[in-house]
Amino acid sequence: MTFGEKIYIPAILKGLSITVGHIFKKKATVSYPEEKRPFSPVFRGLHVLNRDEEGRERCTACGLCALACPAEAITMEGAERKAGEENLYREEKYAAKYEINMLRCIFCGLCEEACPKDAVYLTETVMPANFSRRSFIYKKEDLLIPHPKKQDDSK
């Protein structure tokens, strides 16, 4: 080793110059919740069940999303549309019960890709925390988006 290497001092000074140089660089911290990191437009967050332009539910309880789900998080029960419910549901079959177990869901988006009616869609909302396991099973009422004509104020 050279004399400079043996006494270790030049190496110390070089190291100090690097660390002191880092003081003046931009910091990588994001002060959440004042600043938030931007999400990409295809971010896979919480599920919603869509409606069409007239406010009728798109979901027909075909079960393709439940079949495609690798975590088996979706369950549903179908029901037949009665005579006076034309403006509520698009087709003759609709989902009477539709539940997604958020603790099982891995947010892969395969259900969104499998749906033939463009009913399930993964939005940009991050899943909030909760206290009990039961409250993580989201029912149909939690998932359905507001009616575009009747509930305009909730936008």
Partner 1 sequence: MLLMQIDWFFIIEKIVLITVILLISLGMAAYATWGERKVAAIMQDRIGPARAGIFGLLQPLADGLKLFFKEEIIPQSSTKIIFVLGPALFMITALMTSAVIPWGPSFEIAGRTVSLQVADINIGVLFIFGVVSLGVYGIMLGGWSSNNKYSLLSSVRAASQAISYELAMGISLIALLMVTGSLSLREIVEQQHGFWNNGWFTWHFFTQPLGFFIFVVCSFAELNRAPFDLPEAESELNMGYHLEYSSMKLGLFLFAEYINMFISSAIMATLFFGGYNYPGMDWVAANVPEWLFVLSCVTVLMIKIVAFILFFMFVRWTLPRFRYDQLMKLGWKSLIPLALVNMLITGGVILWMMS
Which residues here bind partner 1, judged by CB under 8 A? 12, 15-16, 18-20, 22-23, 25-29, 31
- CB nearer partner 1, residue 25 or residue 37: 25
Shortest separation between residue 37's beta carbon and partner 1, angstroms: 15
What are the residues facing 25 on neighbouring strands? none
- If you compute the radius of gyration of the chain from its CA atoms, what whole number of angstroms results? 26
- CB of 127 within 8 A of CB of 102? yes
Shortest separation between residue 28's beta carbon and partner 1, angstroms: 5
Shortest separation between residue 7's beta carbon and partner 1, angstroms: 8
- CB nearer partner 1, residue 2 or residue 29: 29
- CB nearer partner 1, residue 12 or residue 71: 12
**Nearest 5°: CA angle at 112, between 97 and 43?**
120
Which two tokens mark 141? 């009422």
In eight-state DSSP terms, residue 32 is T
What is the rounded CA–CA span in Å between residue 154 and residue 102?
24
CB atoms near residue 51 (< 10 Å):
21
- CB nearer partner 1, residue 7 or residue 67: 7
